[in-house]
Amino acid sequence: KNPTDGRGWTVLAPVLARLGRTDDAIRAYRNMITYAGDGASKRADLGEMIAAAAGGVVTAEAKAEFERGHALDADEPKSNYYLGVAAEQDGRKDDAAAIWRKMLSKGPADAPWRPLVSAALARVGGGEAPALPNEAMAAAKGMSNNDRETMIRGMVDRLAARLQQNGDDVEGWLRLVRAYVVMGDLDKARSALSDARQAVKDTERLRQLNEGVKTFGLDG
């Protein structure tokens, strides 16, 4: 009855997206932008739906929306992530890695997208977020091997203890599992991953955890 109701399209678009009705969601997001005003996150959501309709491929049409989102807000995370995916799909892994490194360096420490971006960065061979804080790794360089190992294990143990109190910290779990892998303690890495999967209750954060550990080779 009122097809120009921008607020109605704003409510409807994400509902259609969650239901998996991608074509309807694309139309709803376009109408939302037309009748409720433009915005970086709106362009990113529209681009994501266009990519979803293409089986996850960032098509030229989807990339154009992410570029519009980036132009409106250079720090919009969804647009930046998918522009990295587009670069990866084009075979430009160095460009993808640069985009994702910049996201990790500028983004909040508790940003929910960090595990996903860290995993993507590792996938293109661009390195990973360090298992331990950069300042700790820098301090360890001047130590003897024994002192360095003692310090690192102490930090890992403290991280493990903290995660027993705050089990919803996905990035913390990823750092812990990665640290055990780096130290060659795969049994502890698998045990920590099992604990993480039991502790993380939110479905989206659990997906981010599972995505983040794919590069560790613990499930196969």
Per-residue pLDDT tens over the stretch 59-103: 999 999 999 999 999 999 999 999 999 999 999 989 999 999 889
Determine if the pTM surpasses 0.95. Answer: no
Domain that holds residue 173: 134-216
- Specify whether 145 is located in the same domain as 77: no
Q: What is the pLDDT of residues 106-122, one digit of tens each?
A: 888 777 788 788 778 87
What mean pLDDT is predicted for residues 16-39?
Answer: 94
Task: Tally the domains of the chain.
Answer: 2
Amino acid at 26: I
Q: Is residue 23 part of a domain?
A: no
Instruction: Name the pLDDT band for 146 (thresholds 50, 70, 90).
Output: low
- Interatomic CA distance for residues 70 and 135, integer angstroms: 31
Q: Is residue 75 part of a domain?
A: yes
136 or 38, which is more confident? 38
Q: Is residue 20 part of a domain?
A: no
Q: Is residue 62 part of a domain?
A: yes
Check pLDDT > 70 for residue 163.
yes
109 or 30, which is more confident? 30
Instruction: Name the pLDDT band for 133 (thresholds 50, 70, 90).
Output: low
- Specify whether 119 is located in the same domain as 146: no
Instruction: Name the pLDDT band for 219 (thresholds 50, 70, 90).
Output: low
Tokens in use for 140? Answer: 């360890």
Q: Is residue 14 part of a domain?
A: no
Classified as helix, coil or strand, 124 is coil
In the prediction, which pLDDT does 65 show? 97
Question: Which residues lie closer than 8 Å to 94 by C-beta, 6 or more apart?
Answer: 126
Tokens in use for 143? Answer: 């130590």
- Interatomic CA distance for residues 116 and 11, integer angstroms: 27
> What is the overall mean pLDDT for the chain?
84
